[in-house]
Structure 1
Amino acid sequence: MIAKKLLTTIAFAFVLLFSGCAKDDFEEIDGVCPLVISTIPTSNAVGVPLNQVITATFNEVMNPATITAASFLVSANGAQIGGTVTYAGSTATFTPNAPLLPNTKYTGTITTLAKDPRGNALQENYVWTFTTLRNFTVAVSSNPTIGGVTLGGGTFNEGTTRTVTATPNAGYTFDNWTEGGVIVPGATANYQFVLTGNRTLVANYSLIPPTKFAVIVSSNPLLSGVTLGGGLFNEGSSVTVTASPNAGFTFLNWTENLVVVSTNANYQFVIAGDRTLVANYVPVQYTITLLSSPLIGGTTNGAGSFNAGTTKTVTATPAAGYVFENWTENGLEVSRSASYQFVLNGNRTLVANFIIEP
């Protein structure tokens, strides 16, 4: 049986060799009929790149003069596209003048004008089709809008590798990418993927909780005044501390670690770290001025400047031949005792009055 099939095949080849291509009735032919044995892209191929060069390979060497724009056609949507046709070896090449259109079905045709060197032509047009890859859209946005900047959106070829980036603005941090409200697994701020369909990606950001710093205020001496403004504050915020002296004291300055930082009772600053501030107060001082009347009538003791609220004693000592009569202030008697004691709450000008001893 095998021997019989082999003899039949040899006989058929012998007939072709000496009788030519039997289907061609219009010109003399001999030898093997030219056939297209492969193409790039292959028939019914999909996802063909837009920069694809189209080729057709024959079963034998062809006559280059017959491989032209008339014998190698490429069309789409019923219209022929422009391109350059070349031939080398046994392969014809069609190089489009412009990139192919996305998601478009193209038809390639090798016509019967293509012949081999002996004049044998294709017995019928060789036709095949292929479809180019699709374009998809990548849409990116930020949530919230002020949270950051997203890049990488646009329209791109199917199957290409795309990268979208999320860059948080100051005070924000990147959380994740979501699509349709669902977190994209494993997607970092620089998210790379192969484009197989339209994508709508949202970069989600969250506000970084501000760093808080403590302001501690106190008075020195402890009961000399009231200080306000301590607490916890956000980094970079403006803080004002106030110092209000109690009666008998006056504000001196604010110090931190014994270093003067302000002489203003209302001290304002931008907080950049923890602060421990001390409001320093000093007692109010009043002056005691003492006079003798008459000047030769005697001497006085106890004049000077002293802290407010302190208890002071002034004394009057009469000269020989004089006796003390009283203490007066602004012409009014304030004491008949030569040793006059009082709490100092203001400036005092006291006159020790003496009279001649009877």
Structure 2
Amino acid sequence: MESAIDKHLKCPRTLSRRVPDEYEPPFSMWVGRADTQVKQVVMAYLGIQFRDETQRPAALQAMKTIVSTFELAEGPMHHDLTHHTDNQGYQNLMVVGYWRDPAAYCRWMQADEVDGWWSSDDRLNEGLGYFREIIAPSAEQFETLYAFRDNLPGVGAVMDGISGDIEEHGYWGSMRDRFPASQTDWMKPNGDLRIIAGDPAKGGRVVVQGHDNIALIRSGQDWADAEAEETELYFGEILPTLQDGMDFLRDNGQTVGCYSNRFVRNIDLDGNLLDMSYNIGHWRSLEKLERWAESHPTHLRIFTTFFRVVGGLDKLRLYHEVSVSDARHQVFEYINCHPQTGMMRDAQA
């Protein structure tokens, strides 16, 4: 048994864990491990938004254009593609890229093929919406959790390996306890979301300024290799409770401190659905996310169902990653997206 916090990220605690030192979790879980050279990662969510199904070919082509730039020398080490329909009836494609070197990300973003495309006036006149939501947490500012040990998705794909059985899981507060920063920092938010350029009601380009310690959670499900029994378990028991919780946060998240919630389905480059999905949620703070998780009926049902089935999982792959980030390491930009998109909904003029 080992700590979720890697040895090189350990420091003397000034804040205690939620459980005593002799706590033993009821089942095995694992976290990603990165070597000491990884000081910061970049998580980039690049979106295309459209309303009319006739715009789908153009949206898919825009997605392919973004993916083609990943072939540049400084492109991400890992990426995935998703689709979802939001509660305003708009379809959204997202290209999600991960870097383990922020300098490489900056060089990629400044390339003519990337910055020139994003900055072009053509983006304003195509009838599509675009957004980019990018955060760059330090190694102390994110945690992972996996019910499996191979082919890690998301940020795990740019890490170097997997831990042994970890201590910090299976109890309320374990998510926070897996953050290296939690040893000395409450990770409290400061300030509010603010629109610093543009007007969401008028369309065009809009820039939202974030604040310190916005929390980002990606919680995923992969049933691609699951046998019939596990597939039935996912669709019959896990997905209905999960869908209820995700719909609540999508439609009512503002009441509990959730800025944006998207339950997305993975796709291939041609837009075909894959047997994987995940939720991506931006929260005002880790504390707001914890409070909802520990008290709201929709998440309590998710948590209870997971605990009941996790010990018997074989090919059904469940995981999550959670991060906080400094405001100076956040980018929230939108082009011709509807005003309820992402951070625009809760941003103050």
TM-score by length of 1: 0.18
**Whose strand fraction is larger, Structure 1's or Structure 2's?**
1
TM-score by length of 2: 0.19
**Which structure's relative contact order is higher, taking Cα pairs within 8 Å and 6+ residues apart?**
2
**Whose helix fraction is larger, Structure 1's or Structure 2's?**
2
